[in-house]
Structure 1
C-alpha cells in the first residue's frame, strides 16, 4: 500500500458514502484510477465491508456491559459449542478469546438492566461455564471504528 491507498482508506473510514469522484478529488487522482484502487483494496480484503453505523442511544440501547467468562473446559469441542452459542445472541457485538484469568471477553449492548438480565439468563442456559463476571460501562469516553492506517 502506498500513501494514496492509505488516504483512500482514511477517507472511506470517515464516510463510506462519499462518491469515488469525491474521494479521487481529495487524494489527487482521477476517478477511474481511484475506483481501481478501491476495487483492489476490496479484492485484497483490506476493505472488509461497508456498513452503516447506528446510534445505540437513539435505538434505546443505553447499557454497555463487558462480560468476562471462564471456560468450563479447555477443549475444541467446548470452544466450538460456546462460540456457536455466543454467535447466536445478537446483543453480543464483540467476542474475544483472551489471555489471563478469564478466557473470553464479550461486549454486550442492551437497553437496560432488565434487558441485561434476560441476556444473562440466555447466555448461561445450555452451556457449561466455570465463571461469569460483568462490568457495566458508566461513560463512553472514546469510540471509533476507524483503524489506524499506516503506509
Structure 2
C-alpha cells in the first residue's frame, strides 16, 4: 500500500518520534488537529508500514553496557550459504545493535554493545567460531557524540 505523506502526517510523525507515549489528545493539540483525524492518520501510517513497532529507549551505560564497538568485517566469502550463516549468527546475538552491508573495501559494519572489552572478546570468539571471516577490525567508541532514532522529517522532497 503506497501512502502519500503530507505535511500533517509529517507533523504527527515528528510528534510520535519525540514521545510516542503521549496521549492522542496531546499529539492532536501539538499538530493543530482533533483526535479522530490524527488517530485515522496514525492508523493509515501503521497499515502502510511507515510506523513500525513502538518501543522504549534504554540507557545502555546505566544498564552496564558501557563499551560500544564498531566492528569492520571483510570476507572472502560471498556465497548465499555463507551469507545466510553470517546473518543468522548476527540475528542470534543481542549485543549486535546494528549491522550494515557496505560498498567498498569493508563488507560489513556492526555496532556492538557490551559491558567491557572482555565481553567483546567473548562475542568475537563466538562469532569467528561460527562463521569464517577474512578480517575483523574492532574500533572502540571513546565517546558517543550524537545518537538519535529520529528521522529528519523536513519538507517533502521537491519533484523536478
Equivalent residue in structure 2 for 1:134, among 133, 138, 144: 138
SS of 2:130 mapped into structure 1: coil
For 2:119 and 2:6, the matched residues in 1 are separated by 46
Q: What corresponds to 2:129 in structure 1? A: 125
Which residue number in structure 2 is paired with residue 29 of structure 1?
33
Describe how 1:66-145 pairs up with structure 2 within 5 A: 66-145=70-149
Query: CA shift at 1:72, angstroms?
Result: 3.2
Shift of 1:24: 0.5
TM-score, normalising length: structure 1: 0.97
Residues 20-79 of structure 1: per-residue CA shift (max 9 Å, x gap): 111011111111111000000100111111110000011011110000111231111111
Task: Tell me, in whole angstroms, the C-alpha distance in 1 between the residues paired with 2:36 and 2:19.
Answer: 20
Q: How many residues align?
A: 151
Q: CA RMSD in A?
A: 0.9
In 2, Cα distance between equivalents of 1:72 and 1:110: 27
Is 2:40 the partner of 1:19?
A: no
Structure 1: any 5+ residue segments left out of the alignment?
none
1:8 to 5, 12, 34: 12
- Segments of structure 2 that go 5 or more residues without pairing to the other structure are none
Superimposed CA distance per residue, residues 84-118 of structure 1 (whole angstroms, 9 cap, x where no aligned partner):
11110110010111111110100000001111111
- Counterparts of 1:123 and 1:26 in 2: how far apart (Å)? 47
Output the CA distance in 1 between the equivalents of 2:24 and 2:68.
Answer: 35
Deviating beyond 3 angstroms after TM superposition, the runs of 4 or more aligned structure 1 residues are none
Comparing 73-82 and 10-19, the one that deviates more: 73-82
Any idea what SS the aligned residue of 2:100 has? strand
Distance in 1, matches of 2:35 and 2:13, equals 15
